[in-house]
Amino acid sequence: MVEFAYQTLPWNIIFGAGYMKKLPTEMDKLGLKKALVLTTPNQSAAGEEIIQLIEHRAAGLFDQAVMHVPAETAAEASKIAKELGADCTVALGGGSTTGLGKALAVQMDLPNIVIPTSYAGSEMTNIWAITDAGRKVTARDNRAVPTLTIYDPELTLTLPPAFAGASGLNAMAQAVVNVATDKINPIVSSLATDAVRALYESLPVIMSEPGNMTARSQALYGACLAGGALGTGITSLHHKICHTMGGTYNMPHAETHAIILSHSVAYNAHAAREGTAQLARAMNTDNAAMALYDLLKKLGVPSSLKEVGFKEEDIEQAAAITVENPFDNPEEVNEKRLRKLLQNAFHGHPPQTVDQL
Ligand code: NAD
């Protein structure tokens, strides 16, 4: 018997190679006249191209977006948006830039167009964040959902391959936790399962043939679906660990998700038996956690927390912080097992199920 509740988000998406060029007409359709373009310092030149593209519809460029949306950055961008009389933002970039557009959308009620260039998937969720005095606070607000998202796979061609792999696994994690769960929501799970298939197939092709546009397009589509699953679905142990790693130890976002993923899947494999089997089928394997671990190695992404700068002596504290507040998870989360999971992730050892931890 099927039983579920599902609430969608106000998504408005166009997707296609070369679609960035549609930005001026899309702005006109939405009645938006002056955009503050947002990028990171790395993607400043791409931001300048947007300014050229939208001509008189450009208010200016703010190219200081950084990870985790520091409150000072949001305040500075907001001041510039007001001074320039911007009536919307156009965020071109990964999750950090999208995050800035979302913060301004909520704080200033400013329509936000997002052009994602990584697989972070943030544009498909209503989760927005701000970091003040070293504390990252996240909340859900539908005003953060982009007024329009333009997916253009051509823009992902410049993603460095090593980061493409990590970012793709970050997207995969958003989908995986919504398939390998004991609380399967059929609509979310359909989105998530298709996301897993698309990413699992396309990411290795991108590594071997970086210019393969079919794979680039499939990976970005997978990221869109995965973000949709996260936006309307759940999070569990996996995201809780990664939140601790990012928030307390400033570990790199995408790489941390990539490293933890196989371990969190193995941890829940018994308690979420049916969902984990469905996840394995989506990857054409019989061991989902090992398939994710093998994929991580194949993509050449760092496979241990040690490689991304985490310190072994922090494992105990990280486990304690992760279980500080209760959260939903298929398997009971026990601090001792969590320490063992983190040790495995620290050394890059293969994932273990709870009975082995
Ligand atoms: P990022 O946005 O920080 O990007 C990493 C670097 O890659 C940046 O310098 C960026 O400019 C560059 N880059 C991105 N795309 C590029 C491209 N195509 N070519 C060349 N360079 C490119 O990293 P990310 O992993 O995309 O995003 C991480 C942030 O997103 C974190 O702060 C995370 O918390 C947030 N996030 C939020 C949600 C949500 O739902 N709110 C979901 C996922 C991620």
CATH number of 13-156: 3.40.50.1970
* CA–CA dist 199, 323 (Å, integer): 30
- State the Cα torsion 114-117-122-126 to the nearest 10°: 10
- State the Cα torsion 97-232-253-287 to the nearest 10°: -140
Segment 274-282 mean pLDDT: 98
The CA 175 to ligand 1 mean position distance, Å, reads 17
Closest atom, ligand 1, to C-alpha of 127 = 41
* CA–CA dist 329, 194 (Å, integer): 22
Kindly report the CA angle at 271 between 265 and 272, in degrees rounded to 5? 60
Kindly report the CA angle at 91 between 85 and 92, in degrees rounded to 5? 135
Mutate to test the pocket of ligand 1, among 69, 98, 118 (most ligand atoms within 8 A of CB): 118
pTM for the whole thing?
0.96
Residues of the chain with CATH 1.20.1090.10: 160-347
The CA 221 to ligand 1 mean position distance, Å, reads 16
* CA–CA dist 253, 56 (Å, integer): 36
The binding-site residues of ligand 1, defined as CB within 6 angstroms of any ligand atom, are 40, 42-43, 67-68, 93-97, 99, 117-118, 120-122, 125, 127, 155-156, 158-159, 163, 167, 170, 253-254
Atom 33 of ligand 1, residue of closest alpha carbon: 95
Residue 135: per-residue pLDDT? 78
Closest atom, ligand 1, to C-alpha of 102 = 41
Residue 277: per-residue pLDDT? 98
Residues of the chain with CATH 3.40.50.1970: 13-156
Q: Is pLDDT above 90 for 136?
A: no
Residue 208: per-residue pLDDT? 94
Residue 343: per-residue pLDDT? 98
Q: Tell me 348's DSSP state.
A: T
Residue 161: per-residue pLDDT? 84
**Contact present, 218 and 198 (Cβ < 8 Å):** yes
Q: What CATH architecture applies to the domain 160-347?
A: Up-down Bundle (1.20)
**What phi and psi values does residue 281 have, to the nearest 5 degrees?**
-60, -40
